[in-house]
Amino acid sequence: MSKLHIRGLSHSFKKEQKRLNVIKNLDFIVDDGEFIALLGPSGCGKSTLFNIIAGIIRPECGAMFLNGEYVDTHTDAFGYMQQKDLLLPWRTVIKNVLIGPEIQKSPDSFVKSKALSLLSQLGLEGFENSYPNQLSGGMRQRVALVRTLLCNKDFLLLDEPFGALDAMTRSVMQSILMDIWNKKKQTVLLITHDVEEALCLADRIIVLTARPTSIKSEIDVNLERPRSTTDSYYINLKKQVLDMLQLELESIFTMN
């Protein structure tokens, strides 16, 4: 059974007395335990889609089904990491990452031990008692990822989780995320602008059109992990995806 089914989703925003169409008749299915990457031009509506899935925004049209059940309101089924780290400046790193378990009233000693282990795994050992303003942007992003993972949800929404990281750190973080996913087999929807990141991580890539966004193509990545960037199939897929994205970018500038 599908974990998530988005059916006929459409949404727009009011801008200067006009309606700005952001999502148009979007329809896709995410299977249980599947890792899907969403690729599309900047501003096409990817983050808006995540806000709708998480229940932050109510769509103008369409429906969402989670585990076969119709969802019409906010649900706590998702661990959602947004583009901005949204760390609370008055709380230390360890207190920021423990917000979810705190709300869920999880056992303190077990969760704190897990939090410290994840912080160490993500290169943040020794910063547990630091405050957000004492961290770099990339470190804050890693703290936000730990906080999301500690929510212990079966379904993760990751909006450019590694966008603030340098190339080497990003590669390490991708490997760590894969290790965690391989152990827990959570369902993951990942927004990224990095084609190689999508190809290295995802079971399937959904390529979105320019705004108002709809699905341009769905591509199965039939490669064993860890994936080799020199594999001919990988190289051909990369070219295919880049060509599609290039066409969408060109359409934006043509319209303008």
Task: Determine the pLDDT at residue 16.
Answer: 78
Q: How confident is the model at residue 107 (pLDDT cuts 50, 70, 90)?
A: low
CB of 215 within 8 A of CB of 64?
no
**Angle at the Cα of 85 (from 145 to 48), degrees rounded to 5?**
95
Tell me if 187 sits within 8 A of 214, measured CB to CB: no
Whether the CB-CB separation of 189 and 140 falls below 8 Å is answered with no
96/2 Cα distance (integer angstroms): 33
Tell me the DSSP string of 30-85. EETT-EEEEE--TTSSHHHHHHHHTTSS--SEEEEEETTEEE-S--S-EEEE-SS-
Q: How does the average pLDDT of the chain come out, rounded?
A: 91
pLDDT of amino acid 255: 59
What is this structure's pTM?
Answer: 0.93
pLDDT at 164: 79
| 129-164 pLDDT, tens digit each | 999 999 998 899 999 999 999 988 999 999 999 987
Question: What is the pLDDT at residue 1?
Answer: 53
Residue ranges of domains in the chain? 1-77+154-163+185-256, 83-152
Asked if pLDDT for residue 44 goes beyond 60, the answer is yes
pLDDT for 221? 96
List the CATH code of the domain at 1-77+154-163+185-256: 3.40.50.300
Q: What is the pLDDT at residue 215?
A: 95
How do residues 181-237 score in pLDDT, each as one tens digit? 998 899 999 999 999 999 999 999 999 999 999 999 999 999 999 899 999 999 999
